[in-house]
Amino acid sequence: MCGRFVQIIDIELFVKRFGVKTPSQISVKDNFNVSPGDFAYVITNDKPDELQAFKFGLTPHWAKKQMYLINARAEGDFNKEDDINYTGEAGITKKPAFRTAIKSGRCLVIANGYYEGPAKERLSKPYHLHKSSGEVFTFAGIWDTWADNTTGEVVHSFSIITTVANVATQVIGHHRSPVILDKKDEQKWLDESLPIEEVVQLLKPWPGDDFKADPVSIRVKDPKNKGRDLLIPIDHAGTTEYDSSVKKDLKREGMGRNRRKEDPLGKQGTLF
């Protein structure tokens, strides 16, 4: 699964990278731990030239109450063993919560990285997975709009599609991975006229080994923690390993090294 990710807001980069318009108002801030219920920027099939702030955790339009479906399995109810060699049917097209969205409600979820852990420990032993180059990338997402009949509130929300383990998640011992789109497939993913047979062909694990997995603090497990310091790698003894670029930003934000010497992991204690 992919229940936490990183989105660093760089409007100039987004405009250039995705060909979107500069928004009149920046409604989303940097979030180094996007969690269910948080807002993040996505680019949808119906408005491919805009950045829109949607809530992470999809609520289908037909739901009687708000839901938070953060992930949608590409295989649906098939491949329950999470066989990495699975080549069968994409059951997502049959799931009531996703079968409409996969056909007409697709989106790009902009990310700088995501968090995952081994199948057993999960976020009790978290890793930050990101491109070694530092490039921004996109998850294949689906979205829907739900209206609360009681309050009249309208909620735009999204889910990240997952598939079998990719190279990076296999290394850390996790059985699933988010669907990460190749740049050349991003516009195809947003193409409303693309036959569903071609859509599901894009739901495959990321093939390359250009992702790096850094062990990070267990503090990421708490969705209240949103700061840049979550990206600081630690070693297996729980000792902070300062990345120079992150350290520089932390100092700028008033979080210097001396403070972390006293308690490098806060009240959570040693990670491993």
Full pLDDT tens readout for the chain, 272 residues: 689 999 999 999 999 999 999 999 999 999 999 999 999 999 999 999 999 999 999 999 999 999 999 999 999 999 999 999 999 999 999 999 999 999 999 999 999 999 999 999 999 999 999 999 999 999 999 999 999 999 999 999 999 999 999 999 999 999 999 999 999 999 999 999 999 999 999 999 999 889 999 999 999 999 999 999 999 999 745 555 544 444 455 344 333 333 333 332 233 222 21
The structure tokens listed for 140 are 């294949």
Residue 116's beta-bridge partner residues?
A: 127
The structure tokens listed for 208 are 């390359």
What is the residue whose two structure tokens read 């071609």?
198
Residue 160's beta-bridge partner residues?
A: 71, 141
Question: Nearest CA to 202 among 134, 85, 102?
Answer: 102
Predicted pLDDT of residue 237: 58
Give 18's DSSP letter.
H
Give 20's DSSP letter.
P
Q: Measured between alpha carbons, how far is 144 from 45 in angstroms, rounded to an integer?
A: 11
Q: Measured between alpha carbons, how far is 247 from 210 in angstroms, rounded to an integer?
A: 23
> How many C-beta neighbours within 10 Å does residue 222 have?
14
**Structural contact between residues 4 and 114, judged by C-beta atoms closer than 8 angstroms:** yes
Question: CB-based contacts of 29: which residues, under 8 Å, 6+ apart?
Answer: 9
**Structural contact between residues 231 and 246, judged by C-beta atoms closer than 8 angstroms:** yes
- 21, burial (CB in 10 Å: exposed 0-12, middle 13-18, buried 19+): exposed
The structure tokens listed for 58 are 């999809």
Q: Measured between alpha carbons, how far is 178 from 159 in angstroms, rounded to an integer?
A: 10
Predicted pLDDT of residue 235: 76
Domains in the chain, CATH or no CATH each: 5-217 (3.90.1680.10), 232-272 (no CATH)
Give 46's DSSP letter.
S
pTM above 0.85, yes or no: yes
For 1, 94, 97, 187, 202, the CA distances from 197, given in Å and listed in that order, are 24, 13, 19, 16, 9
Note the residue count of the chain: 272
The DSSP line for 131-192 is ETT---EEEEEEEEEEE-TTT--EEEEEEEEEEE--HHHHHHT-SEEE-EEPHHHHHHHH-T
**Strands 137-147, 39-44: parallel, antiparallel or unpaired by DSSP?**
unpaired
